[in-house]
Amino acid sequence: MIKRLIISLVALMLVIPSVQANLSKLTGGHNPWSPYIEENGNGLIKDIVSAAYNAQNIEFEFKTAPFSRILMLADNHQIDLVAALWSTKQRRATMFYSTAYFYNQLVLISKNTNPIDYKGIASLRFRSVATVRGYGYHSLLDNIDELTITDVLNLHTCLELVVKDRVEVAIADYLAFEYERKTMAEFKQLDAYFPAIVRWPLYIGVSKSHPQAQQIITNFNLGLAKIQENGTYQAILAKYITDNRFK
């Protein structure tokens, strides 16, 4: 019995270094979410995550797909990580999270011809709101009285519903909203309200069942610290963001 145990431990010791040595390339993904992620996969998120792993001599490949599919691919280990996640109790049960590498500011959006009496998230009471299906901010809405929620697939559709008076307000990441407003003339009639209803930390996430999950998270955290120290991180932010509230 003891001999058998020793053989098993030796075999395990031989396997662990080989698993660690194989961490030379990783694949992650997310749905398109401009300006964070363009249709071709480029954008702020890809640049930060790639730079962090490159600082650890790890190649990073990025894929785009609908968000629900990205989560499924991560669960099945067809990709190694989800490149941008908000933390929820449900997700933390199945995923490991990195150090936060950015903070999204979630705001309420309405037509400037139909302004609301803004008092933070309580302003949603007795109103109708458009939200993106599957996004982590839904828990914020649980205790809002008489709130009518319309779930859609993306932010663009949320904003269209506000423009067409199908809902009174939408919840949006401010930078993503600004991108939409700059690129779509019909959205120039929309305004955001400050202060933001929440400042939401953004992480990478790895399935807890992934055999290299902890190593993937650790390498990202170490790489992130390196690029924040050497100025690479700040240069990436400056490439995409001019508003100092987000730097």
In this model, does residue 192 exceed pLDDT 70?
Answer: yes
In this structure, are 66 and 152 located in the same domain? no
Assess contact for 179 and 173: CB atoms under 8 A: no
CATH (domain of 89):
3.40.190.10
Name the residue range of residue 163's domain.
104-199
Q: What is the pTM of this model?
A: 0.79
Tell which of 184, 199, 214 closes a domain.
Answer: 199
pLDDT digits (tens, 9 = 90+) for 96-150: 999 999 999 999 999 999 999 999 999 999 999 999 987 778 888 888 989 999 9
Task: Name the residue with higher pLDDT: 51 or 240.
Answer: 51
pLDDT value of position 5 = 39
Q: Pick from 238, 245, 211: which is nearest to 48 by CA?
A: 238
Cα separations in angstroms, 96 against 74, 87, 151, 191? 12, 10, 27, 36
In this structure, are 183 and 113 located in the same domain? yes
- Is there a domain that residue 212 lies in? yes
- Sequence letter at residue 224: L
Total structural domains within the chain: 2
Let me know if 145 is exposed, middle or buried by CB neighbors in 10 A (0-12, 13-18, 19+).
exposed
- Is there a domain that residue 9 lies in? no
The model's confidence at residue 196, banded by pLDDT at 50, 70 and 90, is very high
